[in-house]
């Protein structure tokens, strides 16, 4: 059985409006029916663009937001049904690392107090000395000096602050750490330090990670399994290498082709699938497949009426697309009519036809030279 | 940020002298794998640098400079100039406050005012009630006595020493300001804190409690403050206490709104979410995280309110609602009484008015400086 | 003669009671017509200050600007403010990182675009409106006539950036300065915007100065690249040359620390140790020395100069550059890592950030 299993998780935020009394006029469907499972000791990467609901999903696992429906099975217990106090206690085993290293640390607490807080809340380490000994051990583990204890968050650099955030999670000896954009606020050279630290810790402590990020390269580097989110739901899920070698959902293809690679040779030869338009509003998501408004492969039937479900296309590679097989075999070409001004106007001579050839190839590798 | 980056730029003279000397360019054995191509521009020894002991050493000794020495040298160059370790935000804010000119001017004004309030009655040359020179002043005929050797600021309309009355009045004025502010702060912070805590603790009940409290506060805010104070004073009768309560009550909704808003903003901060994810109890989150971080703006408001309270108290006294006890002169009352003789003796009104203005300015300056010092945007 | 010729640009911030802060101290590069030149570096390297200095957008108080920046023969740095103002928009234009705060929130897009057209090109009324719609259409904003009436908050991030680009190119400037134009955008939108910029350069022959922290963006867009560190250009090369053989240990380290989408999984990253705070003043030596794997003693003997140790046109500011790309396997000399947050410096295990 998986350590963490989500079953049809839904998080809808009410939209209230009104002059005198607030009425609920609609719902933002931040997360709308996500099922996935995370194996112990593994890293599950959730990737998606802003507004896709990945952060909300991460918070829903810890019940930091109210869950509208579905199950969060952690070690066999449904967290969604737990009473408040029991949920609070089970947070010891599920910890979180936040995006903004400074904002997630109370500016008026010194490091010792920040790290001791969780221990006090869960009654770990009887007295002050024991707690301090443990804190020092964890600080050493994340690469911070003992002298950090008495300092305040604003006295550290960004990378160090993120180490403090990681240490804060580690002192509770959790099983699962949910990392919400753990490196996106950091400089490139510091990012690598933190990524390496997370990997080291996983190796040493057997941690299970759920890594939420918008940067596909980071997610691919760190994750065993990757789930791609679009507008509140998973559109594709596969193990990291599979997803890279063989992205099947049109959105994943477009996403992968858009990630810049720091290598001119790759950049010059890769094909881009440029999406048109913007993310629709999650308070009024499109009917049918949520991606159909921007999909270059959109078909006149089914796409705008019937919502696709995640289906296994072989060896655990799950895709939510009605026409995944047809797209993979090249039977379907992208409909350029949907992408007039971008695809047609692209200066590098990348007409829509070029995108049709991407199907089985890994984007960024094969294809037409610019 | 910029200050941090400034730090390494303090050259250690001794270190510079040794690093810039040609011998410094001798590579260590471990470092010979690649040859330096160019660019090792050897700056001449700093003429300003003192001739340290290492200069006297033989070149051989310098070539043997160990890795540890190199580390020390790098460390000297990189070390921060100010040892800021373990400064809490309050300490850092205080340090910023100390370096602000505005704060210093404000603090000096306030210090002088407080000092006067304390020692005023003792250093006053005459009793504030003594009508020693009654025979020289005929206010109905416009005959007044200006500054002279015995009475530096002249006499008032009843032949009393103006300077003495001002000195004694300082205490009353300060008392009104402080007590009114304390009333406003304590009651306002209680209401606002309750409301904010109810919201931060979450739940429908919390929201409802907050809504009820806040609608009430809004009603209070809707009344013009002076009108509210006048009505309170009118109901309670004419006395200094009345003025203090009236001015204090007017400040309650301001403090309440401010603390609630501040708590609400903090309740949505990332570190509160982090505390929740740690499994910290909600009550502790409110008391240990939300509340302390919300106090900054409220404390600033206290200083600013002190200024307004003094002015409003003066206004109420001016309108005739203040204390008429001649033994306890108050600047507002003095101003009110002097305005009848403004044509003949304008200085009688100018002195208390100046006192009020300068004191209010002092509190405002300090308050504004504190606001800047506590501004989170300025945190490095 | 290049269109823009920046020579030893230096920007120093001076504040009373504080030490001067040299944000930029010696950045030289050229930008030719129809060329994309990249300024890359992490936060605090001086790349944005460079762009602001070129546009004359730095505050006049508390800033000292040195060096030369010749645009078509005129020095932008010494030009009177009024002349520079006329040049902005018509000759040079800038695109900023945050499209929302760069647009006036209470004025419709159309008014903001036509304002530029009337100021610099003297277009009025219907003519200006038509031209504005054409501009929006050209930068790929669908239904431009309707969009003209909308306010900035009604547009998505990508559309706002397109609108900003439309405003920047309204008067067909010869030089476009883009400061992190895609950092606030999602990758799929970023791809659209980069495509648009490339198109402008290819079709109009606009010169583009691209300022970014993203080496991936640089790899795809720029012709020549300048890598900045602590206010100085540490490496400058043609893009393929730079990515194939980065010679400065910093550039080398940056490339090694980025997780690449196409790199095999499980390959560990090689981070640069320490942080930007671990630097020594350039006057003392190489600012990067405390974080450098290639650190030798000469690194502390004064400012290193730009040289061309390997290929012509590939300049690097390092006394011990990475010439053999395989030689970074192990550090040449174990450099110290400083704990800069304390008064005492303590050497700590490598890999840890100081």
How high is the pLDDT of residue B69? 57
Residues sharing a CB contact under 8 Å with residue B149, sequence separation 6 or more, in sequence order: none
B363, B313 Cβ separation under 8 angstroms: no
Contacts of C339 in chain B (CB under 8 A): none
How high is the pLDDT of residue B74? 53
User: Picking from A203-217, B3-17, B132-146, which range would have the lowest pLDDT averaged per residue?
Assistant: B3-17
How high is the pLDDT of residue B205? 81
Helix (H) or strand (E) holding A138, with range, is helix A128-141
Residues B65, B132 within the same domain: no
CA distance C273 to chain A (A): 8
- SS3 breakdown of chain A: % helix, strand, coil, rounded to 5? 35, 20, 45
> Which two tokens mark C338?
């400083």
C232-238 and C315-317 strand pairing: antiparallel
CA distance C213 to chain A (A): 8
Helix (H) or strand (E) holding A28, with range, is strand A23-38
B46 pLDDT more than 60: no
How high is the pLDDT of residue A18? 62
How high is the pLDDT of residue A353? 36
Strand-pairing partners, residue A210, are A44, A178
Among B360, B343, B362, B355, residue whose Cα is nearest residue B165: B355
How high is the pLDDT of residue A22? 66
C9 pLDDT more than 90: yes
Chains that touch A (3 or more CB pairs under 8 A): B, C
How high is the pLDDT of residue B304? 83
* Band of residue A20 on the pLDDT scale cut at 50, 70, 90: low
Residues sharing a CB contact under 8 Å with residue B219, sequence separation 6 or more, in sequence order: none
Question: With a CB-CB cutoff of 8 Å, which residues 34-73 of chain C face chain A?
Answer: 42-43
Of C301, C320, C336, the CB nearest to B71: C336
How high is the pLDDT of residue A335? 67
Among B340, B344, B347, residue whose Cα is nearest residue B142: B344
Residues sharing a CB contact under 8 Å with residue C200, sequence separation 6 or more, in sequence order: C165, C169, C176, C206, C208
Q: pLDDT by residue (tens digit) across C299-325? A: 888 889 888 888 888 999 998 888 876
C202 pLDDT more than 50: yes
B320 in any annotated domain: yes
Q: Coil, strand or helix: which one is A348?
A: coil
Q: How many CB atoms lie within 10 A of CB C243?
A: 22
> Which two tokens mark B180?
């009114």
pTM for this entry = 0.79
> What is the distance, to the nearest Å, from the Cα of residue C111 to the centroid of all Cα atoms in its chain?
30
Percent of chain B with pLDDT over 70: 74
B157 in any annotated domain: yes
Interchain proximity B8–C281, CB inside 8 Å: yes
Residue C304: closest CA among chain B residues belongs to which residue?
A: B39
Domain termination site, one of B59, B78, B97: B78
A191 pLDDT more than 80: yes
* Per-position b or e across A191-226, b if 16+ CB within 10 A of its CB: bbbbbbbbbebbeeeebbbbbbbbbbbbbbbbbbbb
CA distance B142 to B344: 6
Q: Does A91 touch chain B (CB under 8 A)?
A: yes
Residues B306, B370 within the same domain: yes
Average pLDDT of the segment spanning C142-149: 88
Residues B186, B288 within the same domain: yes
Q: Does A146 touch chain B (CB under 8 A)?
A: no
Chains that touch B (3 or more CB pairs under 8 A): A, C
Q: pLDDT by residue (tens digit) across B85-127? A: 456 777 777 888 888 888 999 999 999 999 988 988 888 888 8
Q: pLDDT by residue (tens digit) across C119-128? A: 888 888 888 8
Of A159, A267, A341, the CB nearest to C275: A159
> Which two tokens mark B224?
């013009």
Residues B259, B356 within the same domain: yes
> Which two tokens mark B178?
């402080």
Residues B139, B49 within the same domain: no
How high is the pLDDT of residue A49? 87
Residues B62, B106 within the same domain: no
How high is the pLDDT of residue B371? 81
Among A35, B226, B251, A294, residue whose Cα is nearest residue C142: A294
First to last CA, chain B: 5
How high is the pLDDT of residue C326? 60
CB pairs under 8 A between A and C: 194
Q: Coil, strand or helix: which one is A134?
A: helix
The CA–CA distances, whole Å, from C196 to A50, C117, C165, C234 equal: 22, 21, 9, 29
Contacts of A198 in chain C (CB under 8 A): none
A354 pLDDT more than 80: no
Query: Which has more confidence, C340 or B261?
Result: B261
Average pLDDT of the segment spanning C105-111: 89
Residues B173, B235 within the same domain: yes
> Which two tokens mark A119?
């221990």
Interchain proximity B292–A89, CB inside 8 Å: no
Q: Coil, strand or helix: which one is B96?
A: helix
Helix (H) or strand (E) holding B80, with range, is none
Instruction: Enter the DSSP assignment of B161.
Output: B
CA distance A204 to A191: 20
Among C166, C171, C178, C167, residue whose Cα is nearest residue C209: C178
Residues in chain B: 380
Q: How many CB atoms lie within 10 A of CB B32?
A: 12
* Band of residue B73 on the pLDDT scale cut at 50, 70, 90: low
Contacts of B92 in chain A (CB under 8 A): 154
Q: pLDDT by residue (tens digit) across B324-371? A: 676 778 888 888 888 888 888 888 889 889 998 999 999 999 988 888
B105 in any annotated domain: yes
Q: Does C86 touch chain A (CB under 8 A)?
A: no
A47 pLDDT more than 50: yes
Domain termination site, one of B78, B100, B124: B78
Q: Does C158 touch chain A (CB under 8 A)?
A: yes
Q: pLDDT by residue (tens digit) across B14-40? A: 333 333 333 333 333 333 333 333 333
How high is the pLDDT of residue B26? 35
Residue B80: closest CA among chain A residues belongs to which residue?
A: A155
Interchain proximity C260–A217, CB inside 8 Å: yes
Q: Does B63 touch chain C (CB under 8 A)?
A: no
B97, B370 Cβ separation under 8 angstroms: yes
- Interface with B, mutate which of C328, C336, C346 (most B CBs under 10 A): C336
Query: Which has more confidence, C216 or C329?
Result: C216
How high is the pLDDT of residue B45? 36
Residues B201, B326 within the same domain: yes
CA distance A65 to A326: 39
Q: Does B11 touch chain C (CB under 8 A)?
A: yes
Q: pLDDT by residue (tens digit) across C72-100? A: 888 999 888 888 888 888 889 999 888 77
Considering chain A, what is the average pLDDT of its residues? 85
How high is the pLDDT of residue C325? 67
B83 in any annotated domain: no
Interchain proximity A260–C214, CB inside 8 Å: yes
Q: pLDDT by residue (tens digit) across A280-308? A: 888 888 989 999 998 988 888 889 899 99
ipTM of the complex: 0.83
Considering chain C, what is the average pLDDT of its residues? 84
User: Picking from A230-244, A353-367, B332-346, C254-268, which range would have the lowest pLDDT averaged per residue?
Assistant: A353-367
Residues B301, B323 within the same domain: yes
Contacts of C300 in chain B (CB under 8 A): 19, 24, 70, 73-74
CA distance C253 to A170: 29
Range of the domain at B229: 89-378
Exposure of A232 in the CB half-sphere (CA atoms within 13 A):
24
Helix (H) or strand (E) holding A252, with range, is helix A250-258
Q: Coil, strand or helix: which one is A37?
A: strand
Interchain proximity C320–B34, CB inside 8 Å: yes
How high is the pLDDT of residue A172? 94
How high is the pLDDT of residue A21? 62
Exposure of C312 in the CB half-sphere (CA atoms within 13 A):
0
Q: What is the four-CA torsion angle of A313, A316, A319, A323, rounded to 10 degrees?
A: 0
A369 pLDDT more than 80: no
CA distance A172 to chain B (A): 8
Query: Which has more confidence, B145 or B275?
Result: B275
Of B86, B89, B274, the CB nearest to A108: B89
Among A46, A262, A324, residue whose Cα is nearest residue C269: A262
CA distance B246 to B176: 10
B292 in any annotated domain: yes
CATH number (domain holding residue B270):
1.10.3720.10
How high is the pLDDT of residue A19? 61
CA distance A61 to B95: 43
Q: Name all domains of chain C by residue range, CATH numbers in brackets.
A: 1-91+173-244 (3.40.50.300), 106-168 (no CATH), 257-354 (no CATH)
Instruction: Enter the DSSP assignment of B155.
Output: B
Among C5, C36, C97, C51, residue whose Cα is nearest residue C219: C36
Supply the angle between the helices A188-205 and C249-257 in degrees, to the nearest 10. Answer: 50
Domain termination site, one of B57, B78, B99: B78
B84 in any annotated domain: no
Q: pLDDT by residue (tens digit) across A63-110? A: 999 899 999 999 999 999 999 899 999 999 999 999 998 889 998 889
The radius of gyration of chain A's CA atoms, rounded to the nearest angstrom, is 22
**Total number of domains in chain B:** 2
Of C276, C278, C301, the CB nearest to B42: C301
Query: Which has more confidence, B90 or A43?
Result: A43
Interchain proximity A151–B276, CB inside 8 Å: no
> Which two tokens mark B201?
């603790």
Residue C340: closest CA among chain B residues belongs to which residue?
A: B79
CA distance C161 to chain B (A): 26
A132 pLDDT more than 80: yes
Interchain proximity C305–B38, CB inside 8 Å: yes
B183 pLDDT more than 70: yes
Residues B93, B222 within the same domain: yes
Contacts of A347 in chain C (CB under 8 A): 195, 198-199, 202-203
Question: With a CB-CB cutoff of 8 Å, which residues 194-253 of chain A face chain B?
Answer: none
Apex CA B246: angle with CA B241 and CA B248, to 5°?
95
CA distance B299 to chain C (A): 28
CA distance A272 to chain B (A): 37
CA distance A192 to chain C (A): 5
Average pLDDT of the segment spanning C178-199: 88
CA distance C157 to chain A (A): 9
Of A64, A151, A154, the CB nearest to B379: A154
Which CB contacts under 8 angstroms, 24+ apart, belong to C50-54?
C50/C6, C50/C9, C50/C11, C50/C24, C50/C211, C50/C228, C51/C94, C51/C177, C51/C179, C51/C209, C51/C211, C53/C9, C53/C11, C53/C24, C53/C77, C54/C4, C54/C6, C54/C9, C54/C92, C54/C177, C54/C209
Percent of chain C with pLDDT over 90: 28
Residues B195, B302 within the same domain: yes
Residues B135, B50 within the same domain: no
């Amino acid at each position: 059985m998986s350590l963490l299993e989500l079953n049809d998780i839904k998080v809808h935020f009410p939209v209230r409006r009104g002059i005198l009394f607030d009425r609920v006029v609609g719902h933002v469907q931040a997360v709308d029916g996500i099922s996935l499972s995370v194996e112990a000791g593994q890293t599950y990467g959730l990737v998606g663009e802003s507004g896709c609901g990945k952060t909300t999903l991460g918070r829903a696992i810890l019940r930091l937001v109210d869950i509208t429906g579905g199950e969060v099975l952690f070690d066999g217990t449904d967290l969604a049904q737990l009473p408040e106090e029991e949920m609070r206690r089970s947070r010891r085993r599920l910890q979180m690392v936040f995006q903004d290293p400074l904002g997630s640390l109370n500016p008026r607490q010194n490091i010792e107090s920040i790290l001791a807080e969780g221990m006090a809340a869960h009654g770990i380490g009887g007295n002050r000395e024991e707690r301090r000994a443990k804190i020092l051990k964890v600080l050493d583990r994340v690469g911070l000096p003992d002298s950090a204890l008495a300092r305040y968050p604003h006295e550290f650099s960004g990378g160090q602050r993120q180490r403090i955030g990681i240490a804060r999670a580690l002192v509770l000896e959790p099983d699962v750490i949910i990392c919400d954009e753990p490196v996106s606020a950091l400089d490139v050279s510091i990012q690598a330090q933190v990524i390496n630290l997370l990997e080291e810790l996983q190796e040493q402590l057997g941690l299970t990670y759920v890594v939420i990020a918008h940067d596909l390269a980071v997610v691919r580097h760190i994750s065993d399994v990757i789930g791609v989110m679009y507008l509140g739901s998973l559109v594709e899920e596969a193990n990291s290498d599979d997803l890279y070698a063989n992205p099947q959902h049109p959105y994943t293809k477009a996403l992968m082709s858009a990630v810049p690679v720091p290598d001119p040779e790759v950049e010059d030869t890769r094909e881009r699938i440029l999406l048109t338009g913007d993310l629709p509003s999650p308070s009024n998501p499109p009917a049918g497949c949520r991606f159909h408004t921007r999909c270059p492969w959109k078909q006149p039937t089914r796409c705008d009426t019937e919502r696709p479900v995640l289906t296994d296309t072989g060896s655990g590679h799950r895709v939510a697309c009605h026409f995944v097989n047809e797209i993979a075999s090249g039977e379907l070409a992208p409909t350029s009519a949907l992408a007039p001004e971008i695809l047609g106007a692209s200066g590098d001579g990348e007409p829509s036809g070029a995108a049709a050839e991407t199907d089985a190839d890994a984007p960024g590798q094969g294809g037409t030279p610019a | 940020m910029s200050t941090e980056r400034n730090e390494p730029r303090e050259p250690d003279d001794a270190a510079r002298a040794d690093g810039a000397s040609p011998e410094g360019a001798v590579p260590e054995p471990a470092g010979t794998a690649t040859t330096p191509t160019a660019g090792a521009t050897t700056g001449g020894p700093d003429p300003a640098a003192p001739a340290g002991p290492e200069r006297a050493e033989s070149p051989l000794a310098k070539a043997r400079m160990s890795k540890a020495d190199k580390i020390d040298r790098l460390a000297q160059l990189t070390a921060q100039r100010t040892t800021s370790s373990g400064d809490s935000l309050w300490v850092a804010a205080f340090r910023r406050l100390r370096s602000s000119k505005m704060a210093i001017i404000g603090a000096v004004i306030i210090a002088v005012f407080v000092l006067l309030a304390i020692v005023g009655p003792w250093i006053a040359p005459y009793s504030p009630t003594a009508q020693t020179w009654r025979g020289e002043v005929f206010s109905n005929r416009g005959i007044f006595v200006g500054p002279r050797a015995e009475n530096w600021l002249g006499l008032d309309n009843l032949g009393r020493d103006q300077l003495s009355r001002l000195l004694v009045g300082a205490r009353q004025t300060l008392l009104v300001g402080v007590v009114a502010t304390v009333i406003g702060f304590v009651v306002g912070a209680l209401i606002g804190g309750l409301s904010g805590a109810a919201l931060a603790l979450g739940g429908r009940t919390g929201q409802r409690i907050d809504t009820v409290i806040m609608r009430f506060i809004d009603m209070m805010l809707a009344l013009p403050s002076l009108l509210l104070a006048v009505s309170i004073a009118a109901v309670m009768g004419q006395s200094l206490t009345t003025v203090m309560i009236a001015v204090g009550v007017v400040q309650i909704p301001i403090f309440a709104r401010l603390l609630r808003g501040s708590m609400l903003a903090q309740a949505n901060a990332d570190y509160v979410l982090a505390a929740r994810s740690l499994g910290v109890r909600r009550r502790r989150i409110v008391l240990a995280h939300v509340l302390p971080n919300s106090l900054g703006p409220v404390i600033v408001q206290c200083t600013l309110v002190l200024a307004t309270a003094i002015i409003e108290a003066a206004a109420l006294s001016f309108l005739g609602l203040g204390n008429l006890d001649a033994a306890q002169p108050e600047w507002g009352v003095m101003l009110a009484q002097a305005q009848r003789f403004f044509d003949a003796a304008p200085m009688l009104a100018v002195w208390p008015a100046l006192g009020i203005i300068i004191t209010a300015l002092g509190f405002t300056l300090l308050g504004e400086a504190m606001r800047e010092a506590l501004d989170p945007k300025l945190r490095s | 003669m290049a269109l823009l010729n920046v020579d030893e640009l230096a920007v120093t911030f001076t504040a009373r009671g504080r030490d001067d802060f040299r944000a930029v101290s010696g950045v030289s590069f050229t930008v030719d017509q129809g060329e994309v030149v990249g300024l890359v570096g992490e936060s605090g390297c001086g790349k944005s200050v460079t762009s602001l200095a070129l546009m004359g957008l730095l505050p006049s108080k508390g800033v000292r600007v040195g060096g030369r920046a010749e645009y078509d023969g005129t020095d932008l740095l010494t030009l009177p403010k009024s002349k520079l103002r006329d040049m902005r928009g018509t000759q040079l234009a800038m695109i900023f990182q945050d499209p929302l705060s760069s647009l006036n929130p209470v004025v419709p897009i159309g008014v903001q675009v036509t304002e530029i057209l009337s100021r610099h090109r003297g277009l009025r009324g219907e003519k200006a409106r038509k031209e504005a719609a054409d501009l929006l259409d050209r930068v790929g904003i669908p239904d431009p006539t309707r969009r003209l009436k909308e306010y900035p908050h009604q547009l998505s991030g990508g559309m706002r950036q397109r609108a900003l680009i439309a405003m920047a190119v309204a008067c067909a400037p010869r030089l476009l300065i883009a400061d992190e134009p895609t950092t606030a955008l999602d990758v799929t939108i970023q791809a659209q915007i980069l495509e648009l910029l490339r198109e402008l350069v290819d079709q109009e022959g606009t010169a583009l100065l691209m300022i970014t922290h993203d080496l991936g963006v640089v790899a795809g867009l720029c012709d020549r690249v300048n890598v900045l560190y602590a206010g100085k250009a540490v490496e400058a090369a043609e893009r393929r040359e730079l990515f194939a053989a980065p010679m400065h240990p910093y550039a080398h380290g940056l490339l090694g620390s980025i997780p690449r989408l196409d790199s095999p999984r499980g390959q560990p990253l090689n981070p640069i140790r320490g942080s930007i705070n671990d630097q020594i003043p350039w006057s003392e030596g190489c600012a990067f020395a405390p974080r450098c794997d290639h650190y030798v003693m000469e690194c502390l003997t004064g400012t290193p100069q730009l040289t061309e140790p390997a290929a012509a046109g590939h300049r690097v500011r390092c006394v011990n550059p990475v010439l053999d790309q395989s030689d970074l396997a192990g550090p040449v000399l174990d450099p110290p890592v400083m704990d800069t947050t304390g008064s005492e410096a303590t050497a700590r295990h490598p890999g840890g950030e100081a």
